[in-house]
Structure 1
Amino acid sequence: MQGPHNVSTGHQDDQRLGAAVTDMKQVEPVQHDSPPTTVTDHEGAETSKQAFNQQVRSDQEQHEKGESRDRKRTPSLESQLAREIDYSKQLEAALAKRDEMLQEKEAELTRIKDRMGSQEDKIRELSGANHRQSDEIQQTGAELRHVKTKYQQTSQLLKERSEELTTAQKFLGKADSISSAEVVRLVEVLNAEIAHQSTFILDSLTYQKWTGSANDLEHSLKELRDLLGPWLYERLWHRLNDPNLEFDESDDFLTQLVLQTGLTNACKYIINHWYPPFWNEGKMFDRVYGDMGRKVSQVVAGKWRALSSTHLVVDRKANKDYLRGVLRNLITAVGGPVQNGNSLPPDLKNKVDDITRKALAIHEHVKSSFTSMDLEVYSIPCGTPFDASQMEDADGPNAGGKG
């Protein structure tokens, strides 16, 4: 630590020496009052040497004093430097600690960002689930409202029918207004009428080959599939698609079978349905009656059926139009032309209307005349193996169960 001070002191001494020399050169001659003294060259040299030595001693003294001061100041400067070094180390330690804290904060910030990203993903997932649940809730709400409406309608209907049953005690005490054997007889008459009219229609037909496209033929026959059944439908389809078709007696048999089966099943629908020929409008009565049959006795359920059927006014014209349309499609399907465009001839209209009246009469008896039992007519599809037990209900011990 003393080296820099010595250099600094020596530089200051050089500056002082230079200043002393400069001052000596700038000293103006001193005016003396005494008369000038003559000095020899030797004396002048001595005088200059003494002055120079004196100046050197003075400078040396100053230099020694400066070194003394520097030596005295050195411990203080060293102490101050040590303090500065300690403070610098403290700052470095604090800075290192700050850096460590900063790294920890950055690591924590990274973890927080990761958690935030995970939370955002979860929020999006929950939001999507919430939307889906909201849609499901809305759909369920709509379904519940629909069910509630249907329940209210059914409850109202049951309430009305219950009130009617409550106020109809006399009617509830009445027995069946017709016997099941009489209904069976009416069904036999209807079967005979259908068979007779099918033969009459067969005799009046003039066959012709199908001239339309296969698609038109399929569309025309599609409406008859439920009436004819799969066995008869397939045979009729193959016959009409035969390019080498030649009509003979076997075709007469198939034609009569198609006409008789189609009219029979159409009459069956009219008889058994609640509100023919408006099939969909009667489904609610089927559900209510089926539910009632599981909860109350047959007599009460039968009276409710009879009362409900009494209030359902059958549209006779609609049923006539329905059966006329069935016959028109049957005639077209078996290969016979329909005169007057799509309209049946007047004689055929009268015959099919007579069949409709007989079917509606049986419908009224089946729905309104019986309370002790449920009656329905049924038909056996063509191609079904013969089963003698199926014939017992007509005249056997179980007569009256079915017609």
Structure 2
Amino acid sequence: IRTLQKSLSDVNAEVKNTKSLVSSLTRSSDVLKQRLTDAEHELQQARNQNQILDQQMKAQAAAAKLARDEAGRVSLAHEQTRALLKTRTEELRAAQVYLDRADQSSGADVISMIDALNSEIFQTAATVAEAFKFGEKKVEESSEAEVAYDHVIEILGPRMTELLKSTLHHDDQILIQTAFQAAMCAYVDWIVTSWYFEGREEEQMLSSLYAIIQESEEQAVAGRWRALTRRYALQAFREAPDSQRQLLSVVMETLVNILISAGLESATSEVSETMAAQFAEHASTVVEHAMRLNRVIGQGITSCEMMPLYLVPETPFDANVMEDAFGTASKDSTENILCTTDLGLMRMEKKGEQWEKRVLVKPKIILRSGMADTI
């Protein structure tokens, strides 16, 4: 019995221990379950937070993309604005240059240049005329004289050329000097008004086009077109770089032909050599001044038209626009002029649809009657 009681007591103790262990394990299990529940809750919160952060990141990425796109659009708009501003600035600058009314030279400057040019023509004509001595007239003309005569007629007209041919010049060279002046005035008028120093027929297209522009556009536009065309026409149409030398040769040839037509007893080649050796510098100065005047009134003045006044032979005398060099013509005279010895200057400006013309310098001319009293 004691053995059984002891065994029962041991069993009860073991049961008690087992119950205590089970109770402890139950409590541990409850703690673990609670921890697991808390962990699952925290995990869910972390998932939720991660989802929120992911959404925020996506929103920020979208916002960043929008910002980049907007920055790109702003940058493109900025570049387009800059390009447009540059274009408009260039257009404005071009328009300002094209429509600028400021002249580089004044009317007084041009008058001074015309006076200086006339003085140079007179001095050259007088110097050359005094250097050649004439003998008696030959009965028969040489072939060279006939060629020279035809050339001079084209420049001075038949009446002046016939006077040169028929007059004795061994006592007085006034007619020779006058012919030199008239010929140089004719060539200088052409040089000053030329577009690119070719013949008037070759330049007729530009002259006709400019006449249309003058009638259709404001003076500022027409004047600027003329200035730019004058500047670049030489580059486009004139192949020879030394225009002054070529123009000089034409002037010198005409002076030689005047001497031959007047009866100088020398071969054309000999006279040409003498002219080149002794008077090329004088004539070159005339050509140089004429080319400078071409640039001044052709490219440097756009607010109006400035042009030399040269009157062709046989123009009726008009005291309002010309002056008799000898002072013998009456104001009422209608006699045709023999030649022009000094260039004049005219100013023209378009006012609305009308042209305002003003003679700033009257050209000096010679009448046949005045020359008859002199020779």
Taking structure 2 as the reference length, the TM-score comes to 0.54
Alignment pair present for 1:203 and 2:130:
yes
Residues 161-195 of structure 1: per-residue CA shift (max 9 Å, x gap):
xxx99872231224111112211211111111111
- Which of 201, 217, 236 is equivalent to 2:145? 217
Unaligned runs of 5+ in 1: 1-163, 240-244
Aligned counterparts of 1:236 and 1:194: Cα–Cα separation in 2: 19
Cα shift at 1:226: 3.2
The aligned counterpart of 2:248 is 320
SS of alignment partner, residue 377 of structure 1: strand
The aligned counterpart of 1:359 is 290
Alignment of 1:302-381 (within 5 A): 302-313=223-234, 315-336=243-264, 337=266, 340=270, 342-343=272-273, 344-381=275-312
The aligned counterpart of 2:160 is 232
**In the alignment, is the contact (CA less than 8 A) between 2:210 and 2:222 conserved in 1?**
yes
Aligned counterparts of 2:279 and 2:198: Cα–Cα separation in 1: 20
The aligned counterpart of 1:269 is 190
Alignment of 1:103-182 (within 5 A): 168-171=94-97, 172-182=99-109
Read off the aligned partner of 2:104 and give its amino acid letter: S
Aligned counterparts of 2:232 and 2:258: Cα–Cα separation in 1: 33
Aligned counterparts of 2:193 and 2:176: Cα–Cα separation in 1: 26
Read off the aligned partner of 1:199 and give its amino acid letter: A
SS of alignment partner, residue 302 of structure 2: coil
Read off the aligned partner of 1:189 and give its amino acid letter: A
Aligned counterparts of 2:250 and 2:346: Cα–Cα separation in 1: 32
**In the alignment, is the contact (CA less than 8 A) between 1:262 and 1:326 conserved in 2?**
yes
Higher strand share: 2
Change (3 A) 1:386 1:402: closer
Residues 301-325 of structure 1: per-residue CA shift (max 9 Å, x gap):
1100000111133722221222222
The aligned counterpart of 1:259 is 180
Change (3 A) 1:347 1:394: same
SS of alignment partner, residue 183 of structure 2: helix
**In the alignment, is the contact (CA less than 8 A) between 1:266 and 1:326 conserved in 2?**
no
Higher Cα Rg: structure 1 or 2?
1
**In the alignment, is the contact (CA less than 8 A) between 1:190 and 1:358 conserved in 2?**
yes
Alignment pair present for 1:299 and 2:227:
no
Percent sequence identity over aligned pairs: 22
Cα shift at 1:399: 5.0
Alignment pair present for 1:186 and 2:117:
no
Residues 278-306 of structure 1: per-residue CA shift (max 9 Å, x gap):
43332211121111112111211110000
Aligned counterparts of 2:298 and 2:169: Cα–Cα separation in 1: 46
Aligned counterparts of 2:169 and 2:128: Cα–Cα separation in 1: 20
SS of alignment partner, residue 306 of structure 2: coil
Read off the aligned partner of 2:162 and give its amino acid letter: E
Change (3 A) 1:312 1:383: closer
Residues 323-344 of structure 1: per-residue CA shift (max 9 Å, x gap):
2222222222223345646432
Change (3 A) 1:233 1:165: farther
Aligned counterparts of 2:291 and 2:128: Cα–Cα separation in 1: 22
Aligned counterparts of 2:183 and 2:198: Cα–Cα separation in 1: 15
Cα shift at 1:272: 1.4
Which ranges of 4 or more aligned residues in structure 1 deviate by more than 4 Å?
A: 164-167, 381-386, 391-397, 399-403
Read off the aligned partner of 1:387 and give its amino acid letter: D
Aligned counterparts of 1:257 and 1:323: Cα–Cα separation in 2: 15
Read off the aligned partner of 1:359 and give its amino acid letter: A
The alignment's C-alpha RMSD in Å is: 3.2
Change (3 A) 1:180 1:300: same
**In the alignment, is the contact (CA less than 8 A) between 2:231 and 2:299 conserved in 1?**
yes
Higher helix share: 1
Residues 83-141 of structure 1: per-residue CA shift (max 9 Å, x gap):
xxxxxxxxxxxxxxxxxxxxxxxxxxxxxxxxxxxxxxxxxxxxxxxxxxxxxxxxxxx
The aligned counterpart of 2:79 is none
Aligned counterparts of 1:402 and 1:177: Cα–Cα separation in 2: 24
Aligned counterparts of 1:191 and 1:267: Cα–Cα separation in 2: 10
Aligned counterparts of 1:278 and 1:377: Cα–Cα separation in 2: 17
Change (3 A) 1:290 1:384: closer
The aligned counterpart of 2:367 is none
SS of alignment partner, residue 320 of structure 2: helix
SS of alignment partner, residue 398 of structure 1: strand
**In the alignment, is the contact (CA less than 8 A) between 1:277 and 1:322 conserved in 2?**
no
Aligned counterparts of 2:106 and 2:171: Cα–Cα separation in 1: 45
